[in-house]
Structure 1
Amino acid sequence: METNALIDLVHQVQGELWVDKVNETYRTGRLCQWVSTFHPNKLPCQLDGTFHHGAFNAGMKMVFSDSTAWMVRFPRAGMVCDNCADEKVAMEVTALNLIHDRTTIPVPKVQAWGSAATNPLGLGPFIMMDFIDGVSLSDILRDPNAERPSRVVREDISNSDIEYIYRQLANFLLQLFMLDFDQIGSLPSPQTEAQGPTPPRPLTFKAHSILQNGGIDIFGDRAKGFATTTEYFQYVAKQDWEQLVHQPNSTVGSYDAQNKYMAFKVLEGLVPDFVHPKYNHGKFKLICDDLGLANLIVRGREDLTVIGVVDLEWSYIGPTQLFGSAPWWLLQDRPVNSAWDCKDDELPTIASRYSKCLETFIRVLEEEEARIPEHQEKELSSLVKWSQASGAMWLHMLLLSGFNDHRSFPFTQLRRHLGATEWARREKEFDNAAELGAFAARKVSDLDNYDKALEELEDKKALLDSGKITKEEFVANALIDSGLVPAP
C-alpha cells in the first residue's frame, strides 16, 4: 500500500520550512545559547560537525567548553505528526530512563528534555543526552553499491560478525525481558507522578505511520485499554482495515480492492488462532517497535562491540509474545517492505537469507540464556521458536507495520502456513459479490478523486518551485484545500 502523496507533498515543504528555522537559529547563535542554559554550569557550547538526519529526528553534536558532548535531538517536522511529537519524546525519555536504571544496556543518559511549549526557539520538543562517540552499525551493514538504496544487510558480512552482533542484541533483549508490567498501553510520562488505572492506548510505529503518511487516525478512543493480548491484537489488526477503507489511494483498481477486502477481513479473523494462551493475560513487556540493528552504535568498523543503543522511540507496554517473536530486524530491513514482495506467491530470494539468520539468532539466544541464571528455563528462546512453529511471527510482523499489502512477504507466509485450502475457506466467508462490488466501486471513485486532487496540488508545487508562491503560502493553501484547517 502506497503512502498518501497529497500529505507527503505538504509534509515535504513543512520539513523544509522547519530546516530553514533550525539553520536560522544556529546562524544567529540562539541555538548554542539555548543549549548552554541546560548545562549544570551554563558552559558555552558549539556545534561539532553537521546535522544528523534520521528517519524521524534531526540531531546535532554539541560540545561544551569543558569538552563534554551532548546529542541535541528534535523530531523532524514533516516526518513526525505535530500532534504526536510531544508524546513521542516523552515516551522515549521514559524508556531511556527505565532502561538506564534497570539494565546494563548502554543507552545514553538524558540530560534534559522538554515539550514544544517549553522550547523558545519554536523547533518543537527536544531531548538532550550524552553523545555516544562511535559508528552507526547501520552504515557498516548497508551495501554502498546496491542498485537502489536499501537497508538490507550486505551479503559479504561474515557469519562470525553477524553472530557477534546478534549475541550482543540477544543479551540486551534478555535484560528487557526481565521487566514485567501489568497492563498494555503507553508508558507513564516522566512529568506525570501517577497514571490512571488504565494507561492510554500506545503511540506505536504503526499507528503513527498510518496517521502521518496515510492521513488516517486509527487510534479510536485512546482512553480505552486492553485486558488481554487478544483484545490488543484485534485492535491493531483493525487498524489495517481502517486504513484500507478510509485512505483514498489504498487500492489501485477494482480487482485489487476486492482482493484486499477479503485479505484484511481474513487477517482480522485470524487473531485468536495465533494468541499464545499462556501469555494472553500478562505479564506484559516493554516493546520498542523500531528496535533493531540500526539502533546500535559500535566502536568502529573493525570492532563491532556495541557501545550505544539509541532512538528508542515508539516504546510502550505490549504483549509478551510480541516481544518474544522471531525478529523482523535480522537483515535490518522490514520484511513488509517492497524489496521482499512475493510474485505469484513465490518467495523472494532474500527469504532463505532470513531463515538462515533466524537459525543463528535462536542458537545464540539459547547460548546466552544458558549463561544467565535467571534465564535457565529458556523462556524467551522458547517463545521465539513457538512464533516460528505456529506461524505467529508472520502475524506479528504485520501487526507492527502499517501500509500492509496482501502480496507482502509476511502476508504470503501467513497464507502458506494456513494452507491454500484453509485460506480459501476463510476468504469464502467474505466473498459476497454485492458487498465486494460496492466496496470496489467506492474505492475506484476515491482513487479518481485522489488523482485529481494530486494533480492540482502538483500544479501548486510547480508554482512553489518556480518561486511564484512561498513555502508558507503553499502549506497554508494545501491545508485549507484538504479541509484540515478552515478557510479564513
Structure 2
Amino acid sequence: MDPWLYDSSVDKQLRLKTTCRKVEELAEEKSGRSATLISPLIFGGFNILYRIRLEGTSPDIMVRLPCPSLVQFPQEKTIHEAATAACIAKHTSLPIPRHLFYGDNSPVGPFVIMEHVENCGSVSARLTRPSEDPSAPHVLDPSVSESTLEAIWGRIARCLLQLYRMTFPKIGSLVEANGTYEVASRPITHNMTDMIRLANIPRSVLPPQGKTYQTADEWYTALADMHIAQLIFQHNDLVTSEDDCRNKFVARQIFRRLAKQGRLSCFGFADDTWSAQSSKISASTLSPAPSSSDAFRLWGDDFRAGNILLTDSDEIAALIDWEYTYVGPTQFILDPPWWLLIETAEMWSPDIDDWRETYDMRLKTWLSAMEKAEAEMTEPSPLPAPLSTYMRESWETGRFFLSYAARKSWAFDTMYWKFLDERFFGDRESGVLKDDLWKTRVHLLSEEERAAMEPFVRRKMSESKERRIVDWDPTEAKGRLSELLFD
C-alpha cells in the first residue's frame, strides 16, 4: 500500500487539557448541566470517546469524536451513523445506547453524545485467544466451548433477525429529517475510507455526495468501479509484476461487466442461470434471490464482534459504533457474518485456506444458533426462506466470497481468482500458474478492453518505478478512470 503518514500530533491534540475542557463545555451546552470528564480516554478504531459525568444525573454520557488522522468523511460519517443508530432504536428493541445529541460542527468538530452503558467488554475480547500482549489482534480462541459460542452467537442472531426485518426503498445512507429517517445520501463504506487513507485514491472518482442507488446492480457496479479506481490510482505496492497487473486488470473488467449485466445480484440463488456452477446445482435446491429494486436492508461494513458489548452474564449490553453502516443490497445480510473468527480472512495466519477450513467448522455452530433463534420468532420470515437457509446456501455456493470481493478492494483479487472465477466460468486447466491466471480468461474481455490492457500495464509498471504520493486533479482523475470503464 502507499505510505500512510499517521499524524499522531493531531490525535495528541484530542488528549490536551484544552481539548478536554472544550468537550466538557460542549456537554454542558447540550445538557444544561455541569460536566466533568472522567479519565482515561477511550480510543476506538476510528474514534475517541470522552466519558462525562453530568451533575445530578445518571448514567454518565459519552462524547464521541472521529479521529482526524483516520476518518476521511467525518461530517458525513457522524451524521449517517447517528441517524442509523436512532432509526434502529426507534424501529427495533435492540440495545442501542440512547443518542442524545449529534452534529457535524462544534468547537471540537463533528460529535455524537450518547448515554454510557455499563458493560464487561466486547464479544471480541470475550472470545479471543489468551495473549500476554494486550495489543495483539483478537482471534477466536480455538479452545472456546461450543456451548459458550452457541449461547453468545444465539443472542447476536436474535439481533440480526430484528435488523433483517427493516427494509428501505433504495441504497444509500440514512439521514434524519424532522424525526424521520430517509435514504438521502451516498453510502460511506469502510473501503472508501481505506482507498483515501491507505492509497491516496482521489475523492473525485468515488460516488458523489447525495448519490443514492435504485437497484442492487447499480451498487455492485459502483463497487466494481472503485476496484478499477484502486488499480489505476494506487501508486505503490499494488502490482508486483506485469502478469500480476494483467491478473488484476482482467478480473476487474470481468467483474464489472457481470455487475452491469445484473448477474452478480442473482449469483448463487435459484435465479442464477448464467454461471458454470448453476449447471451443477439444481435451482430447486436453492432459495430465490431478493428483489434487486426495492426492500433493501441495513449493512454495516464495520459491524463485528468488537461492536457488541456484553454483561457479566454474557447477555448483550449494547450494540455500538454504526459507522460505515448504510442501506445496501439484501444479498449482503443473507451471508453468514464474516467476523465469526474475529480476524478478517485476508489477515488470517497462516493463509486463506486455513481461514476457510476454520470458518467452515465454526459456521456449523453459528447456523445452529441462528436456527434456534428463528424457532423462537413468532413472525414469518420476510423472505421465501429462513435467514439461516440463505446463510448456509451463501457459503455453499460462494455468494459469501462474492460479497466479500465486492466490498473489499484489497481482498478482491484473492477472492476472485481463488473462490469465484471457476464458479463463474468453469474449471481452469490444472496446473495453471498464478502469473498465468489472466491468460485463462482474457478471451472474455471485449476487443476494446483487450486493446487497452497492454498500454495500461506498461504505464502502471513505469509509474511503479518511482515511489511517491500522487495528488490528482479531479477532472484529470475522472478522465483517467473513464478510460478503463468502456461504457
- How far 1:74 moved relative to its partner? 0.4
- 1:182-331 to 2 correspondence within 5 Å? 182-190=169-177, 199-216=184-201, 217=203, 218-249=205-236, 250-271=238-259, 272-276=262-266, 277-300=289-312, 303-331=313-341
Of stretches 100-109 and 374-383 in structure 1, the one that deviates more from structure 2 is 374-383
Percent identical across equivalent pairs?
Answer: 23
Shift, 1:125, TM fit: 0.5
1: CA distance, partners of 2:350 / 2:70: 24
**How far does residue 396 in structure 1 lie from its aligned partner after superposition?**
0.4
Does 2:460 align with 1:443? yes
Q: Please, which of 18, 31, 35 is the counterpart of residue 25 of structure 1?
A: 18
Aligned residues of 1:336 and 1:398 also touching (Cα < 8 A): no
Name the SS of the counterpart of 1:129 in structure 2. Answer: strand
Q: Would you say 1:138 and 2:130 are equivalent positions?
A: no
For structure 1, the residue ranges without an aligned partner over 5 or more in a row are 455-480
Residue by residue over 1:84-115, the C-alpha shift from the partner in whole angstroms, topping out at 9 and shown as x without a partner, is 11110111111111111111110100111111
Give the distance between the partners of 2:181 and 2:114, measured in 1 at CA. Answer: 25
Cα deviations by residue, 1:215-251 (Å, 9 ceiling, x for unpaired): 2234244455423212211221221111111111222
Across the aligned residues of Structure 1 and Structure 2, the Cα RMSD in angstroms comes to: 2.8
Is residue 413 of structure 1 aligned with residue 419 of structure 2? yes
Q: CA deviation at 1:350?
A: 2.5
The TM-score with structure 1 as length reference comes to 0.80
CA contact (8 A) 1:166 1:361 kept: yes
Matched-pair contact (CA < 8 Å) for 2:290–2:331: no
DSSP-derived class of the 2:379 partner: helix
Q: Give the SS at the match of 1:97.
A: helix
Cα displacement (A) at 1:70? 0.9
Q: How far apart are 1:433 and its partner, in Å?
A: 7.4
Structure 2: runs of 5 or more not aligned: 267-288, 430-436, 475-487
The Cα shift of 1:405 comes to 4.5
CA contact (8 A) 1:341 1:407 kept: no
1:170 and 1:365 in contact (8 A); partners too: yes
CA displacement at 1:78 relative to structure 2: 0.9
Aligned to 1:104: 93
Contact 2:200 2:471 in 1 (8 A): no
Q: Is the 8 A contact 1:290 1:312 kept in 2?
A: yes
**Partners in 2 of 1:417 and 1:445 — Cα distance?**
34
Q: Is the 8 A contact 2:186 2:212 kept in 1?
A: yes
Question: Aligned pair count?
Answer: 431
**How far off is 1:211 after superposition?**
2.4
User: Partner of 1:127: helix, strand, or coil?
Assistant: strand
Is contact 1:369–1:375 with CA below 8 Å preserved after alignment? no
Residue 280 of structure 1 and its aligned partner are, at CA, apart by 1.5
Alpha-carbon offset, residue 131 of structure 1? 0.7
Q: Distance in 1 between matches of 2:411 and 2:298?
A: 24
Give the C-alpha shift of residue 128 in structure 1: 0.8
In the other structure, the counterpart of 1:372 is 377
Alignment of 1:144-183 (within 5 A): 144-145=130-131, 149-183=136-170
Shift of 1:61: 1.5
Q: 1:444 to 1:364 in 2, by over 3 A?
A: same
Kindly provide the CA deviation profile for residues 130-185 of structure 1, in whole angstroms up to 9, marking residues without a partner as x: 11111122222233438993332121221111111211111011101111111111
Q: 2:403 aligns with which of 396, 402, 420?
A: 396
Task: Give yes or no for contact 1:252–1:447 (8 Å, CA) kept in 2.
Answer: no
Contact 1:398–1:404 (8 Å) recurs in 2: yes
Amino acid at match of 1:397: Y
Scaled by the length of structure 2, what TM-score is found?
0.80
1:426 aligns with 2:458: no
Q: 1:26 offset after TM fit, Å?
A: 4.7
Once residues 374 and 146 of structure 1 are traced to their aligned partners in structure 2, the CA distance between those partners, rounded to angstroms, is 46
Q: Is the contact made by 1:282 and 1:319 (CA closer than 8 Å) also made in structure 2?
A: no
Q: Does the residue aligned with 1:58 lie in a helix, a strand or coil?
A: strand
- The match for 1:461 is none
Give yes or no for contact 2:174–2:326 (8 Å, CA) kept in 1.
Answer: yes
AA aligned opposite 1:204: T
2:123 and 2:310 in contact (8 A); partners too: yes
Distance change >3 Å, CA 85–CA 55, structure 1 → 2: same
Select between 17-26 and 420-429 the one with higher mean Cα deviation: 420-429
Relative to 1, partners in 2 of residues 1:176 and 1:414: Cα closer, same or farther, differing over 3 Å?
A: same
Check the 8 A contact 2:54/2:60 in 1, yes or no. Answer: yes
Q: Corresponding residue for 1:60? A: 50
Indicate how the Cα distance of structure 1 residues 318 and 340 shifts in structure 2: closer, same or farther if over 3 A, else same: farther
SS of 1:421 mapped into structure 2: coil
